[in-house]
C-alpha cells in the first residue's frame, strides 16, 4: 500500500468516469443537482488532495514563491492526466487558470446542455486552493471546451470577487471587460 503524507492515496481510473458519473447523476437527480453534486464531490477531493503537496514539495506550499507555487500546481495536474493547466492572466482580485486539453471537458456530453461543463474540476480546484491558501477560494469556469470554447478557463479568487465576476458575465459583459471592472 503506497500512502503519502496524511494517508492520502490516489488511484487511476479511466477518464470516462466523468461521463458515467454525469450520466447517472442526471438520470437519478436531474441536471442542476448533478452540477451541485459534482462540485461538492470535487471540493472534498480537492481538500484531501492538498495533503499531497507537503509530501511532494517538502515545504509549506503557501511559503513558495508565486511562480514556483503555480508550477507545482500545473505539474500536479499534468502528471495525473488532467491536462495542461497554466496560469494565464490575472487581476488584483481574480486569477485565471487555462487549459486547451482539460480532461473533464473532453468527457462532457457534446450537446452543450446544462451540466456539460467542468463541474467536478471547479469544486476540486476550489477545495485544493482553499486548503493550500488556508481560507476560502472560489472557482468559476468562465469558458469550457464542451460548450464550444477553444479552452477551459477557471477564474479563482475570493467568494465576493467571483460572485461579482459571475454577475457581470450574466449581464453580458465579455470576460476581459468583466475582469477589468473588478
Report the CATH number that the domain containing residue 132 is assigned in CATH.
3.30.1380.20
Q: Look at residue 130 in the predicted model and tell me its pLDDT.
A: 96
Q: Look at residue 55 in the predicted model and tell me its pLDDT.
A: 58
Nearest residue to 103 via CA among 90, 88, 89, 118: 118
Asked if residue 53 lies in contact with residue 66, where contact means CB atoms within 8 angstroms, the answer is: no
Arithmetic mean of pLDDT, 113-142: 90
Instruction: Give the span between the Cα atoms of 28 and 22, in whole angstroms.
Output: 10
What residue numbers bound the domain in which 103 lies? 5-180
Three-state secondary structure readout of 6-67 = HHCCCCCCCCCHHHHHHHHHHHHHCHHHHHHHHHHHHHHHHHHHCCHHHHHHCCCHHHCCHH
Q: Look at residue 43 in the predicted model and tell me its pLDDT.
A: 97
Residue whose entry in the numeric block shows the C-alpha cell 500536479: 76
Q: Look at residue 61 in the predicted model and tell me its pLDDT.
A: 74
Q: Look at residue 89 in the predicted model and tell me its pLDDT.
A: 74
pLDDT tens digits, 19-61: 888 889 999 999 899 999 999 999 999 999 998 876 565 677 7
Q: Is the pLDDT of residue 1 over 70?
A: no
Q: Domain total for the chain?
A: 1
Q: How far is CA 99 from the centre of its chain?
A: 11
How far CA 135 is from CA of 57, 75, 111, 146, in Å, comes to: 20, 23, 36, 30
Q: Look at residue 8 in the predicted model and tell me its pLDDT.
A: 75
* pTM beyond 0.85: yes
Task: Tell me the average pLDDT of the chain.
Answer: 86
CA end-to-end span of the chain? 48
Q: Is the pLDDT of residue 113 over 70?
A: no
**Which range has the top average pLDDT, 21-25, 70-74, 80-84, 136-140?**
136-140
Q: Look at residue 148 in the predicted model and tell me its pLDDT.
A: 85
pLDDT tens digits, 153-174: 999 999 999 999 999 999 999 9
Arithmetic mean of pLDDT, 98-103: 94
Q: How far is CA 30 from the centre of its chain?
A: 22
Q: Look at residue 51 in the predicted model and tell me its pLDDT.
A: 84
Q: Which residues contact 101 (CB under 8 A, 6 or more apart)?
A: 83, 84
DSSP state of 145: G
Amino acid at each position: 500500500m503506497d500512502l503519502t503524507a496524511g494517508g492520502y492515496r490516489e488511484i487511476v481510473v479511466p477518464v470516462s468516469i466523468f461521463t458515467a458519473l454525469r450520466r447517472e447523476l442526471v438520470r437519478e437527480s436531474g441536471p442542476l443537482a448533478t452540477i451541485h453534486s459534482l462540485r461538492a464531490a470535487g471540493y472534498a477531493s480537492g481538500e484531501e488532495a492538498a495533503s499531497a503537496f507537503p509530501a511532494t514539495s517538502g515545504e509549506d506550499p503557501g511559503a513558495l514563491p508565486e511562480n514556483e507555487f503555480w508550477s507545482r500546481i500545473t505539474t500536479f495536474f499534468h502528471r495525473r492526466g488532467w491536462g495542461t493547466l497554466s496560469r494565464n492572466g490575472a487581476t488584483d482580485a481574480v486569477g485565471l487558470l487555462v487549459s486547451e486539453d482539460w480532461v473533464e471537458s473532453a468527457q462532457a456530453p457534446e450537446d452543450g446542455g446544462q451540466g456539460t461543463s467542468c463541474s467536478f474540476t471547479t469544486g476540486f480546484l476550489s477545495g485544493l486552493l482553499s486548503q493550500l491558501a488556508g481560507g476560502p477560494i472560489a472557482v468559476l469556469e468562465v469558458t469550457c471546451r464542451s460548450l464550444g470554447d477553444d479552452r477551459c478557463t477557471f477564474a479563482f479568487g475570493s467568494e465576493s470577487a467571483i460572485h461579482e465576476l459571475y454577475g457581470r458575465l450574466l449581464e453580458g459583459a465579455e470576460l476581459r471587460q468583466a475582469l477589468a471592472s473588478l
